[in-house]
Amino acid sequence: MAEALRVGIAGLGTVGASVARVLIEKTAELTRQCGRPITVTAVSARSKRKNRGVDLGGAKWFDDPVKLAGEADIDVFVELMGGEEGPARAAVKAALEAGRHVVTANKALLAKHGVALAEIAEKKGVLLNYEAAVAGGIPVIKTMREALAGNSVSRVFGILNGTCNYILTRMEAEGISFDECLKDAQRLGYAEADPTFDIEGQDTAHKLSILTALAFGTRISAGDIYREGISNISQADIRAAAELGYRIKLLGVAQRTESGIEQRVHPTMVPTASVIAQVHGVTNAVAIETDILGELLLSGPGAGGNATASAVVGDIADIAKSRPGFQHGPVFGWPAKQLKPYKKAQMRSHAGGYFIRLTVSDRTGVFAAIAKRMADNDISLESIVQRSADSVTHKTVILVTHETTEAAVRKATDGMKKDGHLIDKPQVIRIERAG
């Protein structure tokens, strides 16, 4: 039997402690599956005294994770500290430059520095594995890097944030407000004390940028992603979507177009009969559209200690199965130096149309003015519905458009504001073709 694979773990929070526990408790199974033992020989965390529910007495303690990464007697460095800069970046870079394999769940680090780190890994001939960075326990990275060889990807999209999906699911099921749902999510541990990163779509954007690089061979460009969060979704939107045969989800979408690659994160109406509309709670789902296979949908636990630990352990096991002299595949499917510069797609027509909810003054001529603004911007309407509001001074108008552009919709609603008919900011939600 080959020598044991020596693992060092930096970060012993929920995920790090779960990884250590699995590696220790599943020693026999992992040895059988990998053909060699896997041992935790070094660890680092903020507090040495904290009880993490796992016996790490056999591992050497390092106060400094960078020193662990560069100097410890290990084969694999596992980074579970988080953060795009600071110790996480320094430690991962140190490990790679020392010729050690790296496993990380850090999507923020990869979204900002992934290409540079990949160049180091490929130069040193070591692996940089990051399955846990996108969609938790769902093996989407392995699928895109390995299982879809020969396929050309045209579109990848999905539900990539469990916090947002949990909130939208409960809003629909129980008829409660966004704020009330968010408080419950925080109480249950599904949302952070400061939930901005999740609910405003930044977390989804980081994950989407990684999938985009894998799908289309471009350099990671998280800063170029169009992004909207879910904090402005109301019960009025949830109810209107249901009546129209849709369900609201926060989607990350990346697709190839004639003018470049389009990346966007925003609330989206998907048909209630679609598969992705059936993904509820903290579950994640990723759909990949290819020329050979067609559409593949992967769904499963997207967050939490066990789901993320499962992905991390899977990455470690892949390293344990590799042998000296084996030529590893590139980190992002293409050699890092050959990744193309990201070319942002031009604004184009959106095949699914738009849902537009307006709160307008209840006076003569408003309907006609709205219709004129839409016509002036070449927007064809599938339906227009007027509803009574709680106030006697205003009404709710719901528009569903045919195929049009984001620019045309924004120009039309800006014109309505100038006309003085709008009481509140218009609510605009894309209607997405989804499997």
86: left (phi over 0), alpha (psi -120 to 50) or beta: left
β strands within 75-217, DSSP E: 76-79, 101-104, 128-129, 153-159
Q: Out of 112, 207, 249, 395, which one is annotated catalytic?
A: 207
Q: Which amino acid does the sequence have at 57?
A: G
- Cβ distance 57 to 77 under 8 Å? no
CB 347 within 8 A of CB 407: yes
Q: How many CB atoms lie within 10 A of CB 150?
A: 8
The Cα–Cα gap between 33 and 10 comes to 25
Show the tokens assigned to 122: 């490929």
The tokens describing 97, both together, are 């430059």
What 8-state DSSP symbol labels residue 151?
P
To the query of whether residue 26 is one of the catalytic residues in this protein, the response is: no
Q: Facing residues of 268 across strands? A: 249, 430
Residues sharing a CB contact under 8 Å with residue 242, sequence separation 6 or more, in sequence order: 172, 272
Check: CB of residue 320 under 8 Å from CB of residue 32.
no
For residues 399-424, one letter each, b for 16 or more C-beta atoms within 10 angstroms of the residue's C-beta and e for the rest, the string is: bbbeebbbebbeebbebbeebebbee
- Phi, psi dihedral angles at 223 (to 5 degrees): -70, -15
CA 103 to chain CA centroid, nearest Å: 18
**Amino acid identity for residue 343 in this structure:** K
Residue positions counted in the chain: 435
Q: 304 vs 159, 162, 195, 314, CA distance in Å?
A: 16, 9, 16, 16
Beta strands at 246-257 and 153-159: parallel, antiparallel or unpaired: antiparallel
- Report the run of H or E that residue 371 belongs to, with start and end: helix 366-376
Q: Is the dihedral of CA 372, 373, 377, 380 positive or negative?
A: negative
Catalytic positions are: 207
